[in-house]
């Protein structure tokens, strides 16, 4: 048996012990007050660093990578409600090939404003994306917020990313709910709450292709989790 004692303190601090040795030293640490105190003292050394501004969107990148092995959550489509009339709008379609940075940005926003979108992030990274459609959502007359939506087809799946800003603060129970609509029949497709900067975002994956839908809309719902809209449409676009 190795006799791990105070002599190993520096190797422990410097990360040069094997995993077994670390475990043994930590056993020693439990009974050695002096080593304990030295370890605690070094625990304050990082505060000598001058504050440095983290890079933009680093949080989104890191957390996306940390969680990337998570299983995909099922998002079953559900039924519908009659008569949701979309606000007429102009189309604004575009194609791009790189959507990972977009997802990273969206994730950042969602982390700030809405944990929901976060849990939708899947391990689909790396699959061949085939198209991106981009829509500017049109606000209704009384609504000051703006939003864009991206439909990304990948391996027969549709990823819907919505980013919004200039949003008013909501009551605790309220939420902005995204809907995809076909012939007046909506299904929920993500939700978000504004962060303190008035920004919100959602990410949602569907099994249908983009051609299945004719409208995308955002409503202001009195509570999260509605399968059918109760609130009014605040933003919308034809697809």
Partner 1 sequence: MEKSTDTNLYMRVSQQDKAALEQLYDRYEKILFSFLYKMLEDRELAEEALQEVFIKIWRGKGVYDESKGKFTSWLFRMAQNTAIDLIRKRKQPSVPIEEAAQMVSNDAPVEQQVEWQEEKSQIEMAVQHLSAEQQKMIDLFYFKGHTHETIADMCNIPLGTVKSRIRLALKKLKISLHGMQERGAYDD
The residue ranges that bind partner 1 (CB under 8 A) are 9-10, 13-16, 26, 29-30, 34, 36-55, 58-59, 61-63, 65-67, 111, 115, 118-119
34 vs 155, beta carbon nearer partner 1: 34
Q: How far is the CB of 50 from partner 1 (least distance, A)?
A: 6
15 vs 76, beta carbon nearer partner 1: 15
103 vs 210, beta carbon nearer partner 1: 103
Whole-number Å distance between alpha carbons of 147 and 235: 7
114 vs 148, beta carbon nearer partner 1: 114
Q: How far is the CB of 11 from partner 1 (least distance, A)?
A: 9
In angstroms, what CA-CA distances link 132 with 79, 129, 135, 180, 216?
26, 8, 10, 16, 15
Whole-number Å distance between alpha carbons of 84 and 107: 29
User: 103's torsion region: left (phi>0), alpha (psi -120 to 50) or beta?
Assistant: alpha
Joined tokens for residue 163: 């980013």
Q: Are 216 and 181 in contact (CB under 8 A)?
A: yes
């Amino acid at each position: 048996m190795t006799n791990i004692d105070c002599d190993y303190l520096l190797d422990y601090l410097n990360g040069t012990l094997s995993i077994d040795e670390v475990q043994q030293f930590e056993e020693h640490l439990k009974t050695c007050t002096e080593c304990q105190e030295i370890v605690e003292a070094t625990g304050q050394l990082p505060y000598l660093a001058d504050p440095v501004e983290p890079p933009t969107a680093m949080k989104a990148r890191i957390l996306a990578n940390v969680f990337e092995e998570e299983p995909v959550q099922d998002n079953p489509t559900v039924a519908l409600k009659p008569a949701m009339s979309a606000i007429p709008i102009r189309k604004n379609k575009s194609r791009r090939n790189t959507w990972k940075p977009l997802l990273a940005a969206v994730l950042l926003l969602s982390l700030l404003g809405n944990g929901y979108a976060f849990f939708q992030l899947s391990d689909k990274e790396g699959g061949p994306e085939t198209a991106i459609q981009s829509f500017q959502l049109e606000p209704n007359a009384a609504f000051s917020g703006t939003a864009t939506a991206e439909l990304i087809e990948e391996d027969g799946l549709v990823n819907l990313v919505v980013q919004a800003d200039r949003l008013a603060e909501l009551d605790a129970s309220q939420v902005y709910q995204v809907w995809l609509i076909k012939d007046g029949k909506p299904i929920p497709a993500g939700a978000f709450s504004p962060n303190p900067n008035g920004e919100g975002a959602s990410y949602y994956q569907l099994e249908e292709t983009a051609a299945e839908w004719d409208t995308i809309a955002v409503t202001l719902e009195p509570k999260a989790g509605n399968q059918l809209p109760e609130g009014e449409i605040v933003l919308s676009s034809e697809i």
